[in-house]
Amino acid sequence: MSISLKWFKEAIKNSIEKVVEKNVTKAFKELENEEKENDLDNSCENSKPYLNIKLVNNVLTIVLNDGNIITKPNANEKDFQDARNSSCESQLFNIIASEEVKEERLIREKEILKAKAIRKGIELLKQFSDFTVVENSVYLKGIHRTLPQLLIEKFLEIISTYEDYSIQQAESLLEKNEEYQSLRRFFMWCCLNPRAEVANELYRFLTDNSFRITKQGFFVALRNVVTLHGSPELVHFISNAYNKVKAVWKKNPNEYTVFLENGEYKLVHDDKLFKTILVEDTTCSDCEGEGVTYNDDYEDFDCETCNGTGEVEEYDYEQTVSVDHGQNIGGLTELYLDLPNREENRFTDDWTKTFDIRIGQVVNMPMTDCNWSTQDCAAAGLHFTADQIHYVGCGDQSVLVLINPMKVVGIGTAKGRCYEYLPFMTVPREEATTILHDGDFDTLFIDEKYAIDELDDLINKVKEGFTSETKKHSFNLPNISIEEINNIILSLDDMKKKILNRVAIL
């Protein structure tokens, strides 16, 4: 039995906070209105923006004040009158232009407004200690790698929610903002990838294809695998329950136990393991029902409490007893961590049938065997996707995988490739795509253990990656120094301390 996402959502529909789409920031709205007003003022200064207007043989000809001539074929009398009544050039261009041209112009105007808004936002970023701004380029402090525009926009969107606070207060709040911190870590991991394209393009690729980024800066993707055993139901149940408890309920999996009852697995919280019952009893507690008591010389006497009968008037008391939920399979966390050792947790790839794929165990291939390519298919590497699950590694089972941006080797249109991923959850085929688009499945809360493993001996892992890439594509090495790499690793190592502290508290 695999517990569906719908079941988890319905179980807490009255308590979970619904994820809502964030509005455009107030500052950006004000800027857009301001720019529109300025453009309108500048373009409509003259009451007559033309020197002459003629309509001859259905061709509308307009001579502008600067001498330029614009025309519209297949015009009519209404176009002529509208042009004569125009008070600015923008109105004339709207009359002349086709719908396609108008749409293109609207897009350009929006892009200009957006660029101006970003420039204004960059001025705001200068005030925050996490960023360095040189001209119009934005960097994370200590890393000389420009942030891509989409990521800048996302940082500004988050920061703008603290516009009513001082910079010092906002920075303190951002320290606790998990989405903000996840994006910072994500870009740091990107910078540790020896392929420069990853830092420049990966966030755009993930955004275009609706991938989700975790709290530790990794991202979640999908792929298919082939089941090697016929009955992995317990694997499905444990991996689904463990991750949905974290990502949907946002609860601690340590507080849940798995039982097998009437042939089906069930999940039980600690507060449902025991119950208090009212016990009715007539046994005398002084003589324990024997009717006699003993003195220091071991001489027996009739019990004074029950007059030697061994019974008293009925009285009640509370007692805590175990609830029968069926066969106790084990604690949810312990079962999940033990999944790689279970015989029924065995999958492989459909193409080579050589990969040992288990939920909870890293899958990898030699970095040197992978190829960079912008193609979706037919390139060496471990394929992943967010939507095109039907052709990402043919197989009978879909799995969610966790990927470190440092280990991505190729980005296509809808698919990507890496040299390592962690399968952490099986998902039903019908849920495979929808689960990653569901706001209630919060991937920010997924896998801290993998992050700790990744941070161990990180400096050597980075060196190995850069060395391998140098042998293959020396021209492609990003401009990042050893000092910058050390800055990133120190910052990510601080994440490890926070994880360990949180685990200790739990």
Instruction: Give one DSSP letter per residue of 372-423, joined into a string.
Output: --S-SSSSSSEEEESS-GGGSS--SEEEEEEE-GGGEEEE-SSEEEESEEEE
Q: In a structure prediction context, what are the per-residue pLDDT tens digits for the chain, which is 506 residues long?
A: 557 777 777 776 644 343 333 333 444 455 455 555 555 445 444 468 899 999 998 999 999 888 888 888 889 999 999 999 998 887 888 888 766 566 766 777 677 776 777 778 888 899 999 999 988 789 998 888 889 989 998 999 899 899 889 999 999 999 999 999 999 999 999 988 888 788 788 999 999 888 889 999 999 999 989 999 878 899 999 999 999 999 889 899 999 999 999 999 999 999 999 999 888 888 888 888 888 988 877 788 888 888 888 888 777 778 889 999 999 999 999 999 999 999 999 999 888 889 999 999 999 999 888 888 887 776 788 989 877 655 555 788 989 999 999 999 999 888 899 999 999 999 887 777 778 777 788 888 787 888 888 888 787 777 776 666 655 554 454 556 777 878 888 888 777 777 776 544 44
Instruction: Give which of 446, 404, 364 is closest to 186, Cα–Cα.
Output: 404
On whether the CB atoms of residues 189 and 405 are closer than 8 A, the answer is yes
Residue 329 CA to residue 344 CA, distance in Å, equals 15
Residue 13 CA to residue 53 CA, distance in Å, equals 65
H and E: helices and strands count for the chain: 15, 21
CB atoms within 10 A of CB 351: 12
**pTM exceeding 0.85:** no
For 116-155, give one letter per residue: b (16+ CB within 10 A) or e.
ebbeebbebbeebebbbeeeeebbbeebbbbbbeebbbbb
Residue 389 CA to residue 391 CA, distance in Å, equals 5
Q: Across-strand partners of 302?
A: 292
Give residue 291's identity as a one-letter amino acid code: G
Is residue 341 helix, strand or coil? helix
Q: Which two tokens stand for residue 111?
A: 């892009």
Residue 339 CA to residue 327 CA, distance in Å, equals 19
On whether the CB atoms of residues 399 and 421 are closer than 8 A, the answer is no
Q: Which two tokens stand for residue 502?
A: 């949180």
Q: Which two tokens stand for residue 142?
A: 């200590």
For 161-192, give one letter per residue: b (16+ CB within 10 A) or e.
bbeeeeeeebbeebeebeebbbbbbbbbbbbb
* Residue that has been written with the tokens 């021209």 in this structure: 475
